[in-house]
Amino acid sequence: MVKEKPELRLAKDLSLPADTAPAQRFAFIGRVGSGKTYAAGKFVELLYDSGRQVVVVDPVGNWGRGLRIAADGKDRGLDIPIFGRSIGANADFPLEPTGGKLIADVIVDHRASMVLDVSEMTYGEQCRFMADFAPHLLQRKKGAKSPLMLVVEEAQEFIPERTFRNTAVMVGAMTRLVKLGRNYGIGFALITQRPQAVSKEVLNLTEVLFVFQTSGPQERKAIAGWVTTKGLDLHAQLEELPGLDPGDGFLWSPQWLKTFRKVRVLPKRTFDASATPTEIELHADLKPIDLKQITAAMADTIERAKLDDPRELKRQLADLKRELAAKPKPVAAPDESAIARAVADGVARQHSEWVHHTNDALMLVGDLQKEMQKAVGALGLLESTLCHTPIPKAGISFGRLRTGSRAAATRGNDIKRSPSVSVAPALAGVNHRLKPVPQQSRNGNGAGGTLAKGERIVLTAIAQYPDGVERDDLTILTGYKRSTRDSYIQRLQAAGNVALDGSVIVATDEGVAALGDFEPLPSGDALYQWWLPRLPDGERKVLEFLHRISDWAPRDDISEGTDYKRSTRDSYIQRLRARRLVEINSAGGVRASEGLFD
């Protein structure tokens, strides 16, 4: 006797194979009150009753309440745990924006069905949760393949067609989960009343489309686009959508079920929390379930996540710092040796400054000597020119030209005396050039001695990395071209401000002192926050993606998560590496530098 395969009877004339349905991609589309969420709820009931794992992401707050209570609003419904912020009447376990990875671990490790009620989170917190949850779930399922249906209410909130800066990481992670999840047993069911606002890339991946009453032209246009990609001609049926009764809908599945039909979903056995509440329904309360088993199963996972989570470690460290700061600080006796060292350092610093100013003075004297030599040469040339120039009728007296030339004096006596001409105006430009140079930086801020603006920028970039920087990295850090960069390096090296260690350029102690008000880069999360507003958009987007993952990521994953093509992606990665913000392993994988989490 052949054993019949279990089926999910969704409508009177529609049953889905229970063994393959959890790994398929579904879409439930329709206006408010059309029956789309009711149909999805019936689908979740059937999956749960057949022993399949199902997880619902609920940004509205109705799903947990609806599934846990029977249709009459009094008896118990499904024994499915709810994760949310309001522990007690509305949730069994806490759910925080930073808990995405933890929840993914629980789902995979314990094969638990659940409702993730994110309705009390802000939209930014929801984005953060899903950006952590989606990639970690996919990664964990690669090593633990099993059927899992992920149901997402209001899907346009999590995989929108238009991506903005604050949603980019989440959208990339969710899109990749839908595209690749089926390979590891992950199915997907999106629910939306606005299909035009859902990512077309994701919508077109769905294999089973349930469409209920839809009246808006934009909604029907989006549905028509899906139908067209599947090679169907259902123009007449699309025109029928505005007139459908609530609960009636069309099912299209050209490849998997190979069917198109009109269906009416069978009644649910759980509470319809998506309907408009009535006075009686408002008194329906969640029935408690036995949570001991899942609580015990989660304990180890929660503790392990805390040990592995850098954010938890940072929180503990911050608590410890606050405790230490609150304690009164003991007044230590003066340390005579420390005072002596401070005095010695001050004397040494003053001596260094005196040597620096003395060198400046010597350089200025040398410049003055050169200018004087040029002036004497110009004076001799002027004398020679005047002595060999034909004498004009008015005559010129050379009696006041004290050149020390006997020949000139003789010739001057032979010339008819007339009003003399002074050479002072001819030397005015020379005298002007010989004015002393003010002792301040050429960039006008008075700090850093005589560092020019370009030298200061290059030296600052080098000094910010105590281990030194490569020349090519310096180009990225400063924006200077190769020739300009090398010119500044040569000047700084000649002044003793930098030293070369092979191919690496390192700032010397003299160089750091020359910067004056130089401040080193911060570390840990402060460094991450310092860089974010200063990075170009592309580099910032890649860094945010890697920082959220906090683990090695293949380059293709980065492209999926940021929508950058290979060449653009690799360019941003290289620039981030030059800034020491990312690391690259021998396999080409990339991760955010560990220094950003210290």
What three-state secondary structure class fits 134?
A: helix
Please list the pLDDT of the chain residue by residue as tens digits (598 residues).
445 668 999 999 899 999 999 999 999 999 999 999 999 999 999 999 999 999 999 999 999 889 999 998 888 899 999 999 877 667 888 888 988 999 999 999 888 899 999 999 999 999 999 999 999 999 999 999 999 999 999 999 999 998 888 888 999 999 999 999 999 999 999 999 999 999 999 999 999 999 999 887 888 788 887 776 666 666 677 778 888 899 899 998 988 998 888 999 999 999 987 765 544 444 445 555 666 666 665 665 555 555 555 555 566 566 666 666 665 555 445 455 555 565 556 555 555 555 555 655 666 666 666 666 666 666 655 555 555 445 444 443 434 333 343 343 334 444 344 343 333 333 333 333 333 333 333 343 434 457 888 898 999 989 888 888 888 888 888 888 888 989 999 999 999 999 988 789 999 989 888 888 777 888 888 888 888 888 999 999 999 888 887 788 899 889 888 889 999 999 999 999 888 899 998 888 899 888 887 6
Predicted pLDDT of residue 28 = 96
Name which of 222, 287, 284, 267 is nearest 68 in CA terms: 287
Between CA 62 and CA 66 the distance in angstroms is 6
Q: Which residues pair with 264 in a beta bridge?
A: 248
Amino acid at 303: E
Between CA 497 and CA 492 the distance in angstroms is 5
Between CA 131 and CA 91 the distance in angstroms is 22
Classify strands 53-58 and 114-117 as parallel, antiparallel or unpaired. parallel
Q: How far is CA 434 from CA 366, 368, 383, 441, 451, in A?
A: 11, 6, 21, 19, 21
Q: Which strand (E) or helix (H) includes residue 561?
A: helix 555-562
What three-state secondary structure class fits 259?
A: strand
* Whether the predicted model's global pTM rises above the 0.75 cut: no
The answer to whether 589 touches 553, Cβ cutoff 8 Å, is yes
Domains of the chain: 7-277 (3.40.50.300), 292-321 (no CATH), 525-596 (1.10.10.10)
Predicted pLDDT of residue 277 = 53
Residue 57 has a CB neighbour count (10 Å cut-off) of 24
Name which of 510, 500, 499, 374 is nearest 450 in CA terms: 510
Predicted pLDDT of residue 303 = 59
Between CA 465 and CA 523 the distance in angstroms is 12
State both tokens at 471.
């020349």
